[in-house]
Amino acid sequence: MLPINLKEQFDCRYRIQLDDAAECESGGRNNPWYYQIPCKYGHIYPVSDKLLGFWCESGTIRGRLHREHPEIDVTNWSDDGEAIFRFRPNQMDIIAEYARPKKKRRLSEEHRQKLAKAGRDALQKHRNLTLMASKTGSESTKTTGGVTNHV
């Protein structure tokens, strides 16, 4: 059984990261079981081929979500404020309202062009400074009696 692939379904809207455990397994970086969506109040991860899980680390968020949306299954309710909610992908908007998943950054075309121009300008300035430094570095100067003699 393959899990819900977060990269295929949510990569365009949310940041997707690998669980730390993916580094310990061979092929873990390509295994969809290790993908997760980082959130302000926990993270979202695949549970099965039909369900996702939201590990909630805030007691306040946990209580509000459970009270306002009893249709979402809650498991592992703990005394320290943590809980795991299991939900279907079509309920992602409800969970996102509480979990606050980290969204993908998007640049406008204008901002992208401005950053590209700034990068080109910085590269050209660096090249000019490097060229000037190599010219002055190859010339040796000698100062005697307040007069500079180029050798």
Express each pLDDT in 87-130 by its tens digit.
999 999 999 999 999 988 777 888 888 988 998 988 888 888 88
Query: In the chain, what percentage of residues exceed pLDDT 90?
Result: 36
For position 150, what pLDDT does the model report?
A: 55
For position 54, what pLDDT does the model report?
A: 95
Is residue 6 within 8 A of residue 49, CB to CB? The reply is: no
For position 37, what pLDDT does the model report?
A: 94
Closest CA to 50 of 108, 3, 109, 117: 3
- Rounded to the nearest angstrom, the gap between the alpha carbon of residue 99 and the centroid of all alpha carbons in its chain is 16
